Amino acid sequence: MGMDMVTKGVHNVIEFLSDYSPDMDVIGISVIRREIENKVLKTSVSGLVELNILKNLTVYVVAGSLGRFKSHASNIVFDVFIATCQDSAQNMESSQIDGSH
């Protein structure tokens, strides 16, 4: 699958950049156009913010995990795949994110 090659390629680029310039920070920025947000995801920015608060903050408090308000990349990627009718089995490939920063 092409997605596997992209994942491997990105991994190699990040590894090269880390070796070449260990003090460098790499960030990823994504943009979802408003029409996609409304038509495909059937939500709004405020709806996504509310969902994030409910799902990733409130649940941790209820579960007694105070101090560990960390969303799981896999859950977010899986939700977007389902909302956009993509193959949710690709979740594992796409959620290889280091949440330490």
Instruction: Name the pTM for this structure.
Output: 0.37
Residue 92: what pLDDT?
A: 65
Residue 67: what pLDDT?
A: 47
Residue 27: what pLDDT?
A: 75
What's the first-to-final CA gap in the chain, in angstroms?
Answer: 30
| Cα–Cα distance for residue pair 82/84, rounded to 1 Å | 5
Q: Which residues of the chain have pLDDT under 50?
A: 1, 66-67, 99, 101
Using alpha carbons, select from 81, 82, 68 the residue that is nearest to residue 94.
81
Residue 5: what pLDDT?
A: 73
| Cα–Cα distance for residue pair 77/82, rounded to 1 Å | 9
Residue 95: what pLDDT?
A: 55
Residue 28: what pLDDT?
A: 72
Residue type at 33? R
Residue 11: count of CB within 10 angstroms of its CB: 11
Whether the Cβ atoms of residue 71 and residue 52 lie closer than 8 Å to each other: yes
